[in-house]
Amino acid sequence: MNAFRFLGDMTHLFSVLVLLLKIYATKSCSGVSRKTQELYMVVFLARYMDLFTDYISLYNSVMKVVFITSSAAIVWCMRRHPQVRRTYDKEQDTFRHVVLVAAAFVLALIFNERFTFREICWAFSIYLEAVAILPQLVLLQRGRNVDNLTGQYVFFLGAYRAFYILNWIYRYFTEGHHSRWISWLSGLVQTGLYADFFYYYFLR
């Protein structure tokens, strides 16, 4: 565990907590894309399937449980919570996210490290995570009023993968040259998608 990866995990955790706080404190999810939250829930379920089979560390297991339960809680709130669900802008959140799931799945069938169920699920979750933010970015560009908690949520989410890229660079030079091309390419695409958001976020 290196500082970049720990910072990345903490930034990622913080982004989820900011979103949970916003929804819980304001009892509103206006400006939040439910589709992006659903995609993240699929990403975590597909990637953390090994939660019960491979024990890596207490930290690793605890964080996996936290990410799965928090993303499920956010989706539940946006779908079932009587007050919150009313504030969801269904007409604005129109990105066809099924296309993203299908594309990531096809990519994972073609480009994976080994043609096994686990590796294909892992690659699928990496590809899907790279594009999961798209519905949210589209919603932000449509909505005039980006409330600052939602803006901070997206900012921390962009920063987390940027830290992971630094982590991969660090591990490349310290741990030998594992083939990380799936993580590299997806991580760069993922962080790149935030570029225009960061540009406007800082300009505002």
Extended strands (E) in 25-80: none
Per-residue binding letters, 166-195, with another protein (x by CB under 8 A): -x--------xxxxx-xx------------
Q: Work out which of 163, 164, 194, 197 binds another protein, going by CB under 8 A.
A: 164
Contact range with another protein by CB under 8 A, out of 23-31, 114-122, 142-150, 189-197: 114-122
Nearer to another protein by Cβ, of 50 and 147: the residue is 50
Return all residues near 183 (Cβ < 8 A) that are at least 6 apart: 126, 164, 168
Smallest gap from residue 86 Cβ to another protein (A):
33
Nearer to another protein by Cβ, of 123 and 140: the residue is 123
Nearer to another protein by Cβ, of 146 and 188: the residue is 188
Asked if 163 touches another protein (CB under 8 A), the answer is: no
How many whole angstroms separate alpha carbon 10 and alpha carbon 2?
12
Per-residue binding letters, 49-78, with another protein (x by CB under 8 A): -x---x-xx--x--xx--x-----------
Contact call for residues 176 and 136 (beta carbons, < 8 A): no
- Rg (C-alpha) for the chain, rounded Å, is 17
How many whole angstroms separate alpha carbon 78 and alpha carbon 38?
10
- Name the token pair of 134: 């798209």
Nearer to another protein by Cβ, of 21 and 62: the residue is 62
For residue 42, which of 11, 67, 13, 17 has the smallest C-alpha distance? 67
Reduced to 3 states (helix: H, G, I; strand: E, B; else coil), residue 101 is helix
For residue 133, which amino acid is it? I
Residues that bind another protein (CB under 8 A): 5, 9, 12, 50, 54, 56-57, 60, 63-64, 67, 113-114, 119, 122, 164, 167, 176-180, 182-183
